[in-house]
């Protein structure tokens, strides 16, 4: 039988009349509180009190209120803000979080926030936009500038890397593929431009990327034979160097030429050329017969030999100088004697010259007369 509008109006009037009646069996407010407390204690009903204790609310309805507040705040709201807005204790909000996790809702929750899945999707979209602009984003930047808890980022956002976020994660940093390609090209340019031994740490600092990312890209280039050199040392150590092939080639040429010209080479020069194992280097460079004929002299012994040679040379020079001085003195005496004879001969010649002139004039005058 269909209910008519008149029936509804009659029932509403009956309800209003009953509410206005004052009967002896009507419960007082105190009795209502006691009854509700007994029902809550026996777990017959699932209610929570407001902070002022004047209202009751079911957890299901409280969860609805939480969803509404979360939507009204852009998809995310903190538990402390909810406790203040909904006028309930903080632990009640936490208990509702445990309750809603069992309901498989679209609403997510971590230690500090409630948020919707659509909010996570929105964050992923914004991260993609920023990555397109800058190429790299760190967790610390997102935590500081977006006011996001680390747990939320790590558990719900970084889990989308490679799926909803077009990036590659290296520890706590996200990189786009274009950014990685640019850094790889930069590493390729650096290793091809170097001509001397260079600390890898200096290369990493100049490029401006993390060591782990550098070695990842370096290995990719190495596997493609695009690294014209080699590294010396452990990658876990700060004392690792990059040695270009051109440096190795010039070092071998220099050592070979030095041996050919001087037949002598100081091992300290090899150390300056960043040759850490001189003996192995020389054994590889020189023919076997030449290497076996090498004599390795300690620097102290070589210094003593050179000092002895210098002393002997100085002694020989001193003896030669003394003999030279004696010869010069004897030659000086001989020159003095020769000089005396030279003056006597000159005087005699002058006498004969004047006598000849006098005789010539005498004969000339006699002839004229």
What is the SS3 string spanning 95-108?
A: HHHHHHHCCCCCEE
* Domain count within the chain: 4
Q: Which pLDDT does position 321 carry in this prediction? A: 58
Whole-angstrom distance, CA of residue 307 vs CA of residue 313: 10
Give the Cβ contact number of residue 70 at 10 Å: 22
- How much is the pTM? 0.60
User: For residue 271, what are the CA distances in angstroms to 202, 247, 275, 279?
Assistant: 20, 13, 5, 11
> Is 277 within a domain?
yes
> Is 40 within a domain?
yes
Q: Which pLDDT does position 320 carry in this prediction? A: 64
Mean pLDDT, consecutive 10-residue stretches, the chain (369 aa), reads 65 69 63 74 76 79 85 85 87 72 65 82 90 89 83 82 86 89 93 91 90 91 92 86 90 83 76 77 78 72 70 67 56 48 51 54 48
Domain boundary among the residues 170, 192, 210 is at 170
Let me know whether 41 and 92 are in one domain.
yes
> Is 363 within a domain?
no
Whole-angstrom distance, CA of residue 369 vs CA of residue 366: 5
Let me know whether 239 and 203 are in one domain.
yes
- Residue 57, strand partner residues: 48
Whole-angstrom distance, CA of residue 208 vs CA of residue 40: 62
Whole-angstrom distance, CA of residue 103 vs CA of residue 323: 117
Q: What is the CATH number of the domain that holds 227?
A: 1.10.10
CA angle 110, 113, 118 (to 5 degrees): 90
Q: Which pLDDT does position 77 carry in this prediction? A: 85
Whole-angstrom distance, CA of residue 138 vs CA of residue 133: 14
Question: Who's near 146: CB < 8 A, 6+ residues apart?
Answer: 123
Question: Who's near 256: CB < 8 A, 6+ residues apart?
Answer: 285
> Is 312 within a domain?
no
Helices 90-101 and 59-72: crossing angle, nearest 10°?
A: 100
Domain boundary among the residues 218, 243, 268 is at 243
- CA dihedral (318, 320, 324, 326) in degrees, to 10, reads 70
Whole-angstrom distance, CA of residue 77 vs CA of residue 71: 9
Counting every residue written for the chain, the total comes to 369
> Is 326 within a domain?
no
> Is 368 within a domain?
no
By the 10 Å C-beta count (0-12 exposed, 13-18 middle, 19+ buried), 293 is classed as: exposed
Long-range contacts of 153-161 (CB under 8 A, 24+ apart): 155/110, 156/108, 156/110, 156/120, 157/120, 157/123, 157/124, 157/127, 160/120, 160/124
Let me know whether 98 and 30 are in one domain.
yes
Let me know whether 236 and 251 are in one domain.
no
Let me know whether 122 and 188 are in one domain.
no
Let me know whether 89 and 133 are in one domain.
no
> Is 209 within a domain?
yes
Let me know whether 207 and 256 are in one domain.
no
Decide if 149 contacts 143 (C-beta within 8 A): yes
**Domain range spanning residue 145?**
118-170
Let me know whether 33 and 84 are in one domain.
yes
Find the farthest-apart pair of alpha carbons in the chain and give their distance in angstroms, rounded.
205
Domain boundary among the residues 285, 304, 323 is at 304
> Is 353 within a domain?
no
Q: Which pLDDT does position 353 carry in this prediction? A: 53
């Amino acid at each position: 039988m269909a209910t008519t509008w008149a029936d509804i109006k009659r029932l509403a009037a009956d309800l209003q009349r009953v509410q206005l009646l004052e009967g002896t069996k009507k419960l007082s407010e105190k009795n209502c509180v006691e009854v509700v407390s007994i029902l809550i204690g026996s777990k017959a009903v699932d209610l929570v009190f407001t902070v002022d204790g004047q209202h009751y609310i079911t957890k299901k309805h409280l969860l609805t209120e939480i969803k509404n507040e979360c939507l009204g705040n852009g998809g995310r709201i903190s538990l402390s803000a909810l406790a203040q807005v909904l006028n309930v204790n903080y632990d009640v909000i936490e208990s509702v979080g445990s309750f809603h996790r069992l309901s498989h809702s679209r609403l997510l929750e971590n230690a500090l926030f409630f948020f919707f899945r659509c909010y996570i999707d929105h964050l992923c979209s914004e991260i993609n936009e920023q990555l397109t602009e800058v190429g790299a984003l760190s967790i610390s930047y997102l935590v500081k500038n977006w006011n996001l808890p680390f747990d939320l980022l790590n558990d719900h956002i970084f889990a989308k890397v490679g799926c909803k976020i077009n990036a590659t994660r290296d520890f706590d940093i996200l990189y786009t593929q274009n950014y990685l390609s640019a850094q790889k090209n930069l590493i390729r340019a650096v290793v091809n431009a170097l001509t001397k031994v260079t600390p890898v740490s200096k290369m990493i600092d100049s490029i401006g990327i993390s060591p782990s990312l550098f070695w990842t890209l370096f290995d990719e280039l190495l596997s493609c034979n695009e690294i014209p050199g080699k590294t010396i040392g452990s990658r876990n150590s700060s004392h690792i160097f990059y040695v270009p092939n051109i440096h190795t080639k010039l070092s071998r040429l220099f050592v070979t030429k030095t041996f050919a010209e001087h037949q002598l080479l100081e091992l300290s020069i090899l150390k300056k050329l960043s040759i850490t194992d001189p003996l192995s280097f020389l054994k590889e460079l020189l023919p076997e017969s030449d290497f076996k004929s090498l004599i390795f002299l300690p620097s102290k012994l070589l210094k003593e030999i050179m000092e002895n040679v210098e002393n002997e040379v100085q002694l020989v020079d001193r003896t030669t100088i003394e003999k030279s001085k004696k010869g010069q003195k004897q030659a000086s005496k001989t020159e003095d004697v020769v000089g005396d004879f030279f003056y006597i001969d000159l005087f005699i010649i002058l006498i004969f010259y004047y006598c000849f002139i006098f005789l010539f004039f005498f004969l000339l005058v006699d002839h004229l007369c």
